[in-house]
């Protein structure tokens, strides 16, 4: 009998549901955007109820479109975003603090001065940065003075978005997260596979409020809110779900997702590789109680630079216009756009850097801007990949895979992907369905139900729809990348 899995992808700007059939082909899709709240400079919040409402709406939509009740649900989500709620009222204590929110920068700086970053990295694989949940949670507990006592009495719980969704979908019966989401909280010891009491003590976080950590393919209760009783059987953070969806199951394999930002993940297998280049050590996925580790690099601005060309400069009408425009650019101009609109992420981690453009002449126009914007994504990816590969080789491992699997909205841009291949001097592989995040969550749920084959069998089904191969001579590549390195050097606010 054929079966269907409903994948829920709760992202930063929108919530999507995709119903997959037994072959993991998409059957129906629904999407809803929700409001972003910016109460102060550098603060980003979501109304936690919006995340529930849009999730229920899109899931009901695909069920209504198809009249199919899915066999299971897989959840994938924006990571790190922090929610605290009262278990008696079911209401959040505050708005969700989103991963992009920088309000705890000062607290992180103080903890760094105390020398606490070494502890954080050794235990969690992360850096001491406001990006992660730990200091956001401390902020919320400090703001609501009785929250700690209520937490100790089991009346206040914490969760990343996955836990909040599971709690609501199971109507308060299950308080759980998966290992990949836990690994982004800065409270989870990725080596021991347990919440870390030293970090929780330091941040004054009562451990009673933390969710139970489970595998990515596991049981997460059932929901009766969509008609019938549907089990939740797969959970992973969105970048990790994309790693699964891209079938990067062997160590040395890499994927890079190009949405608003870009997140590159390198599977390092059983080894949690410590970075000497300020990359993150994280969990790619956890199956049968066994974590598979990864190195991760995050670029905050990728497709968002194209949005800026459209909404900020008004030089294009839609994102895809950049392709033709970039092809018309004057080859003799060397324009570098460093899109540090919200600082620079890995490997620089310079929160104070701001965007810059170099090499302008009187002949510079929209075409050169478009080209420089698309190229900036390739250059930034090379920065990440070189840092991760260096870490990987320094760990004594064999050379990593040279090919890069790409997905996400911006990977539809042929100019950007060809330049990426040129500047990396490596093949860039694109699968047919770019919705690999949702696919990964559906696969995990199917695996847990026994409806999908083991990872190595699933990996055989992965096919590149398009491959970009390097077509740039070595001298040009070296010269162009040297120009980028100079541009970055002139943009950074610190050495």
Ligand X SMILES: O=P(O)(O)OC[C@H](O)CO
Which one of ligand X, ligand ADP, none is in contact with 238 (Cβ closer than 5 to 8 A by kind)?
ligand X
**From the list ligand ADP, ligand X, none, partner contacted by residue 306 (C-beta under 5 to 8 A by kind):** ligand ADP
Tell me which residues in 5-34 interact with ligand X (CB under 6 A).
11-12
Looking at beta carbons only, is 259 or 339 nearer to ligand X? Answer: 259
80 is in an annotated binding site: yes
Min dist. Cβ of residue 367 to ligand X (A)? 29
- In order of 232, 442, 449, the CA distances from 229 in angstroms are 10, 17, 15
* Sole binder of ligand X in the list 20, 34, 85, 99 (CB under 6 A): 99
Instruction: Assess 259 for contact with ligand X (CB under 6 A).
Output: yes
Tell whether 303 is in a known binding site: yes
Residue 46 interacts with, from ligand X, ligand ADP, none (CB under 5-8 Å by kind): none
| Residue 275 labelled as part of a binding site | no
Q: Is 407 in the site for ligand X (CB under 6 A)?
A: no
Q: Which stretch binds ligand X (CB under 6 A): 25-33, 203-211, 233-241, 341-349?
A: 233-241
* CA of residue 50 relative to chain centroid, distance: 20
- The answer to whether residues 349 and 127 touch, using CB atoms and an 8 Å cutoff, is yes
Torsion of CA 59, 62, 64, 66, to 10 degrees: -140
d(CA 68, CA 66): 5
Residue 190 contact, options ligand ADP, ligand X, none, Cβ 5-8 Å cut-off depending on partner type: none
Residue 356 vs 412, nearer CB to ligand ADP: 412
Which residues, at least 6 apart from 165, have a Cβ–Cβ distance to it below 8 Å?
8, 10, 51, 52, 55, 75, 77
As measured in angstroms, the least distance from the Cβ of 22 to ligand ADP is 26
Strand, coil or helix: 157: strand
Helix 414-424 to helix 474-491 angle (10° resolution) is 100
Q: Dig out the tokens for 186 from the structure.
A: 């800065």
CB of 124 to ligand X, least distance (A): 14
* Token output for 470: 């390097």
Among ligand ADP, ligand X, none, the one that 239 touches (CB under a kind-dependent 5 to 8 A) is ligand X
* Residue 244 interacts with, from ligand X, ligand ADP, none (CB under 5-8 Å by kind): none
Two tokens at 26?
């998409």
The rounded distance, in Å, linking the Cα atoms of 118 and 298 is: 20
Tell which positions 236-255 bind ligand X, by CB under 6 A. Answer: 237-239
Known binding residue 14? Answer is: yes
d(CA 318, CA 470): 27
Q: Is 13 annotated as a binding residue?
A: yes
Interacting residues with ligand X between 361 and 400 (CB under 6 A): none
Q: Which is nearer to ligand X, 223 or 437 (CB)?
A: 437
Interaction residues for ligand X, span 54-83 (CB under 6 A): 78-80
212 touches, from ligand ADP, ligand X, none (C-beta below 5 to 8 Å by class): none
Tokens of 455: 């990872």
Taking CB atoms, the residue at the shortest distance from ligand ADP is: 409
**Closest CB 408 distance from ligand X, rounded Å:** 8
User: CA–CA separation, 410 vs 417, rounded Å?
Assistant: 9
Coarse DSSP helix, strand, coil percentages of the chain, rounded to the nearest 5 percent = 35, 25, 40
Binds ligand X by CB under 6 A, chosen from 180, 260, 380, 452: 260
Q: At 194, is the secondary structure helix, strand, or coil? A: strand
Shortest distance (Å) from residue 483 CB to ligand ADP: 22
Q: Among residues 78 and 268, whose Cβ is nearest to ligand ADP? A: 78
Q: Pick from ligand ADP, ligand X, none: which does 251 bind, CB < 5 to 8 A by kind?
A: none
The smaller minimum CB distance to ligand ADP, of residues 76 and 104, is found at: 76
CA distance 425 to 482: 15
Which CB sits closer to ligand X, 12 or 189?
12
Can you point out the beta strands (E) in 307-439? 336-338, 356-358, 404-407, 428-431
Structure tokens at 29: 């899709």
Known binding residue 260? Answer is yes
DSSP SS3 for 164: helix
Closest contact distance (angstroms) between CB of 49 and ligand X is 18
Report the residue number, 36 or 334, with the smaller CB distance to ligand ADP: 36
Q: Which tokens go with 45?
A: 């919040």
CA nearest to 436, candidates 188, 274, 286, 247: 247
246, interface contact from ligand X, ligand ADP, none, CB < 5-8 Å by kind: none
Residue 489's alpha-carbon distances to 47, 309, 350, 356, 493, in angstroms, are 38, 24, 11, 11, 9
Minimum distance between the CB of residue 392 and ligand X, rounded to whole angstroms?
A: 21
The reply, when asked if residue 478 is annotated as ligand binding, is no
Angle (CA) 183-382-42 rounded to 5° is: 55
Nearest approach in angstroms of CB 99 to ligand X is 4
Residues contributing to the site for ligand X (CB under 6 A): 11-12, 78-80, 99, 237-239, 259-260
């Amino acid at each position: 009998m054929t079966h269907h899995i409903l994948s829920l992808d709760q992202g930063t700007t929108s919530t999507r549901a995709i119903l997959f059939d037994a072959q993991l082909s998409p059957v129906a899709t629904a999407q809803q955007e929700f409001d972003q709240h910016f109460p102060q400079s550098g603060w980003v919040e979501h109304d936690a109820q919006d995340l529930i409402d849009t999730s229920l709406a899109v899931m009901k939509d695909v069920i209504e479109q198809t009249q199919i009740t899915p066999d299971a649900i897989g959840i994938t989500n924006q990571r790190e975003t922090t929610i605290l709620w009262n278990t008696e009222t079911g209401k959040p204590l505050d708005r969700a603090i989103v991963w992009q929110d920088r309000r705890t920068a000062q607290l992180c700086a103080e903890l760094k001065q105390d020398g606490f970053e070494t502890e954080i990295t050794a235990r969690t694989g992360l850096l001491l940065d406001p990006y992660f949940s730990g200091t956001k949670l401390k902020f919320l507990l400090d703001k609501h003075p009785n929250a700690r006592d209520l937490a100790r009495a089991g009346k206040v719980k914490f969760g990343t978005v996955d836990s909040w969704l599971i709690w609501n979908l199971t109507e308060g019966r299950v308080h759980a997260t998966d290992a990949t989401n836990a690994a982004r909280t800065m409270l989870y010891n990725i080596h021991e596979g347990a919440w870390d009491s030293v970090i929780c003590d330091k941040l004054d976080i009562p451990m009673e409020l933390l969710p139970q950590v489970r595998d990515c393919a596991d049981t997460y209760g059932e929901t009766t809110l969509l008609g019938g009783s549907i089990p939740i059987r797969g959970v992973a953070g969105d970048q990790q779900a994309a790693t699964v969806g891209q079938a990067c199951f062997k160590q040395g394999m890499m994927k890079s997702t190009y949405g608003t930002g870009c997140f590159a993940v390198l599977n390092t297998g059983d080894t949690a590789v410590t970075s000497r280049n300020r990359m993150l050590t994280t969990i790619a996925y956890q199956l049968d109680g066994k974590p598979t580790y990864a190195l991760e690099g995050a670029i905050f601005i990728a497709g968002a630079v194209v949005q800026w060309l459209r909404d900020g400069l008004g030089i294009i009408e839609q994102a895809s216009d950049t392709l033709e425009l970039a092809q018309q650019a004057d080859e003799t101009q060397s324009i570098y756009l460093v899109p540090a609109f919200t600082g620079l992420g890995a490997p620089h981690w310079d929160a104070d850097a701001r965007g810059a453009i170099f090499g302008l002449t009187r002949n510079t126009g929209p075409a050169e801007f478009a080209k420089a914007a698309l190229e900036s994504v390739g250059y930034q990816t090379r920065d990440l990949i070189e840092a991760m590969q260096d870490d990987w080789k320094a760990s004594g491992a064999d050379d990593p895979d040279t090919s890069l699997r790409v997905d996400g909205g911006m990977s539809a841009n042929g100019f950007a992907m060809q330049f990426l291949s040129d500047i990396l001097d490596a093949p860039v592989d694109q699968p047919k369905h770019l919705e690999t995040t949702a696919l990964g969550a559906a696969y995990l749920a199917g695996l847990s139900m026994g409806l999908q084959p083991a990872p190595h069998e699933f990996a055989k089904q992965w096919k590149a729809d398009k491959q970009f191969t390097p077509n740039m001579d070595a001298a040009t590549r070296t010269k162009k990348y040297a120009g980028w390195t100079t541009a970055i050097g002139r943009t950074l606010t610190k050495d």
